[in-house]
Structure 1
């Protein structure tokens, strides 16, 4: 399970699959065809169409782009987006690094707890996590209740619907995306190197700054890139927790599409956001082999990126020589300071989940902390409301369709990438992973225009196709991680006993890969089941899923029933994680 999550976070692929010499396509390579055609038709083509629409096709004009940059309001939106994204990225790095470090250097029990604290929020609905912080930071929320009871304030503090609330909520949501890439890189660092430095007289801090931190820089940069790009395309949290002065560019795109039906101008805004993301990726490639983040191998990049990393770490070596003087004032890198800090931060990651679950059992008809008494009436309200049930079944149907498409196509792509031999493998990996890197709002707007051509807008099948595009990368990475760990001796033994290729695949490979396919289908279903953005643009009010019903409820009237729904969603995510861990353990035994 750790390998699957870590691989997804960094976009890394098995070295054996990415380093093979390109040549004439093998039989396995043909499995890439269906998935690549699907992604081109439902991802690349819509983005190209969005670009054409932004130029006012068929009446070609630059007016939409001129309007974007001439408007002082749009300049303010871009400034807000950049300021919030930079602030959230820095906070995620500051709070995420100690957890990633402790995950790498701590014992099994602490590591398990920390990993649970990171993974559970990561695979919990963004909407549910945002809703948790609304309950915590609201005027009558948990924080203000505690402050008033302790007499620290005389009236509730404004923590919601402002910049502070947006930054807190977004930081909480993206911090797992910062931790997982760093943890992946740190786990590959040979722990004997810092110990050797300390054995030669270096202090714990000096050994950390001169050995461990430079070696962890690729994970830091990968995490920064992932988090910053994600923040640029954030929509749900700033829309629910921000004020009028905290509007981001994604919210303006939504307003132009949903409220004003100005598709050409919305397309221009979306292209500006997309170009910004691509510029960030290009800038990051100046300091870090961004191709590796998209799936290229270290060997392929080789010496081209070596000097950059040396230049980037030279200042750390200089600081390390002076670290001994301040080591006594900082938490020991080899003692209990960092594990204690990591545990505290992990508790904060789990706290919103726990609070929402706690409030879902309140007997009160409105949110109050602490709860006056316990009751199941919120859950009864959910199961007895036809609208909630109808929305739930809609989510299940869409999720099953999306998971089926993503699992079949993603599984074929995984086998093709892992065992096929083709030219342009890096470009193929980039295509596969791009849907989870590009801003979801941009992809959803682009997909809408394609679905309109076929009359699929507002339909469950059209929504499932959009969700499948976003879920395919999950399936590919999880299955490839399984194929990477697959011992080839079993297949060689079957062939030595006279089994053909098809029989070997049916009797050996398929049973061993099946647990990974099941886990991948669960996560594909979860990605669809928790989505709001695609429903907002592709559903156009006709398809109401469970998250969309929650979205409308939170924006209009926060009902305690939503806490029960959010708790059920989190329980489902937890079940998926447990099932994945059990299947992974079964595969390894």
Structure 2
């Protein structure tokens, strides 16, 4: 044990900056939030009792859990076949489809919500089309109801489900399916008995992430739902602004957190992205408990043997046609899912060029008036510049401390690495409203409410988690022999890191920086709590305009935000492509 701590101490030291920021801004405030909910030092359950005694609170809590569960089930139902078809496609097509999913994932949540408002609104794209073709005479109620909220939640959360599933499915050995088919298993049987159990880690991780994130949804239900579709996060935010009783707000936040923690503890969260290869114990079902069930089953299988042989021979001649139709159906399904993810963004981009006084699709002409309105309005310009300043500061801070933490964790004992990783990733796995409330408490103690420094610290705890995840994945593929070779030539730890390790993990560092910037640039909930009335970022400006008036200028802003992920992906691709020759030279020069 002493030797373990001696070997791990330098590596753990690299995680201290990230852990210190997390502790001050989020960790200690979470403890204060817990104590406040119990009215410390009195330690009573009065706040929880008051929450339970209000039927309206219980109704909001139950419908929050219900809406999150339904959205998660829809994401699983749509996301699993989508991920399966993407993983089974060719490498070039797979890369393109994953790129589309990533673009949708990186696109601003506010921009996507605004796009759905334009599509589902009373004078939106769908209603206007149906009226123009004469199918309806008055607008259909497509917005401000539960269905619209589900559409918005699934459209936003579907990439969160698909990406972990693809990561797991790509790693499954395809020879296992071939072996099952060679032993007489039908395609569905081979899928059910072999492929599906191996893909369950992805289903589990994606479902937990989607459910927990849906619990903290704030913008989408408020923009697309009605009064009866209020979620607990909206209730908590309103409670914090209108009530001086912080204890009731703390109790509501911790009840929401308790639901998330119960789900995580029951289902588990595997962020490794690899299929589990550990054999699972076979559960005894009621059929196994019957003493003669196995004999009867074997006898029935023997009787059905000749019939199956005839069916197998008949299917051989129909395999080509069946496979052709299945490919067409699969391609159509994936195309519809990609259209569902990307079409709202394309609609906003096209409508932003409308020449009239209101947005129309398709535009009767082309005009840049709303872009001129955006760049010529001082309020929009100031909000954008504020977001850029905060985003750059958050990117620099979180990239430095996140990269150091990832490097330190990669050289730490596995069990300790798992614990510290989960601690650092806490802000991006908890409901966002809970993180916002805790961060608000922490920054109140530091006197940083209503300051840019406070917003930077609040954004950095989540951005650091993204940097740690991406850089750690890059470090996992790093050849450690290169570092050993540099140390054998009397290079110190710092020189080895700067001259060998950092150039090889540069794409991961840049990728983490991109995610950090986008996380900060699109943040609304925490910013609205921490920024007060003195700081107005671009997302806050957009949200205020969406709530009070549908200013067409928002379409120009949303279209720019939707093009931002494409620009960042191009930067990442160029960075990765340029890093390949350097990595290849380093591997070739490494001692064998």
TM-score, normalising length from structure 1? 0.88
- 1:184 and 2:167 aligned: yes
Match of 1:145 in 2: 128
- Determine the C-alpha separation between the residues in 2 that align with 1:308 and 1:210: 12
Match of 1:544 in 2: 536
Quote the offset at 1:69 in angstroms: 0.8
Quote the offset at 1:542 in angstroms: 1.3
Residue 197 and residue 132 in structure 1: after superposition, are their counterparts in 2 closer, same or farther (change >3 A)?
same
- 1:226 and 2:209 aligned: yes
- Determine the C-alpha separation between the residues in 1 that align with 2:17 and 2:273: 20
Give every structure 1 segment of 4 or more consecutive aligned residues whose post-TM-superposition deviation is greater than 6 Å: 20-23, 294-299, 308-311, 321-334
Residue 226 and residue 174 in structure 1: after superposition, are their counterparts in 2 closer, same or farther (change >3 A)?
same
1:443-484 residue CA offsets vs partner (Å, 9 max, x unmatched): 111111111122100101001100000101111111112212
Deviates further, 58-67 or 170-179: 58-67
- Determine the C-alpha separation between the residues in 1 that align with 2:32 and 2:418: 24
- Determine the C-alpha separation between the residues in 1 that align with 2:542 and 2:170: 38
- Determine the C-alpha separation between the residues in 1 that align with 2:283 and 2:15: 34
Residue 541 and residue 333 in structure 1: after superposition, are their counterparts in 2 closer, same or farther (change >3 A)?
farther
Match of 2:377 in 1: 385
Residue 85 and residue 293 in structure 1: after superposition, are their counterparts in 2 closer, same or farther (change >3 A)?
same
Structure 2: gaps (5+ residues): 289-296, 582-592
- Determine the C-alpha separation between the residues in 1 that align with 2:275 and 2:362: 52
Residue aligned with 1:202, SS: coil
Quote the offset at 1:380 in angstroms: 0.3
- Determine the C-alpha separation between the residues in 2 that align with 1:467 and 1:562: 24
1:306-340 residue CA offsets vs partner (Å, 9 max, x unmatched): 338998xx9xxx9xx99999999998897342233
- Determine the C-alpha separation between the residues in 1 that align with 2:542 and 2:106: 17
1:88 to 56, 65, 71: 71
Quote the offset at 1:381 in angstroms: 0.3
How many residue pairs get aligned? The number is 554
Residue aligned with 2:184, SS: coil
Match of 1:199 in 2: 182
1:251 to 222, 230, 234: 234
Contact kept in structure 2, 1:80 and 1:248, CA below 8 Å: yes
- Determine the C-alpha separation between the residues in 1 that align with 2:5 and 2:43: 41
Residue aligned with 1:420, SS: coil
2:464 to 466, 472, 476: 472
Residue 235 and residue 281 in structure 1: after superposition, are their counterparts in 2 closer, same or farther (change >3 A)?
same
Deviates further, 443-452 or 574-583: 574-583
Contact kept in structure 2, 1:474 and 1:523, CA below 8 Å: yes
1:249-283 residue CA offsets vs partner (Å, 9 max, x unmatched): 11100110123344221111001001111111122
Match of 1:584 in 2: 576
- 1:49 and 2:41 aligned: no
- Determine the C-alpha separation between the residues in 2 that align with 1:567 and 1:331: 40
- Determine the C-alpha separation between the residues in 2 that align with 1:171 and 1:107: 27
Match of 2:545 in 1: 553
User: Equivalences for 1:398-417 in 2 at 5 Å?
Assistant: 398-417=390-409
TM-score, normalising length from structure 2? 0.88
Residue 501 and residue 257 in structure 1: after superposition, are their counterparts in 2 closer, same or farther (change >3 A)?
closer
Contact kept in structure 1, 2:257 and 2:431, CA below 8 Å: yes
Match of 1:11 in 2: none
2:474 to 476, 479, 482: 482
Quote the offset at 1:350 in angstroms: 0.8
1:338 to 330, 353, 358: 330
2:264 to 262, 267, 281: 281
Residue 117 and residue 30 in structure 1: after superposition, are their counterparts in 2 closer, same or farther (change >3 A)?
same
Quote the offset at 1:422 in angstroms: 7.7
Residue 208 and residue 330 in structure 1: after superposition, are their counterparts in 2 closer, same or farther (change >3 A)?
farther
- Determine the C-alpha separation between the residues in 1 that align with 2:80 and 2:235: 33
Quote the offset at 1:209 in angstroms: 1.9
Contact kept in structure 1, 2:118 and 2:124, CA below 8 Å: yes
- 1:63 and 2:46 aligned: yes
- Determine the C-alpha separation between the residues in 2 that align with 1:214 and 1:585: 36
Higher relative contact order (CA 8 A, sep 6+): 1
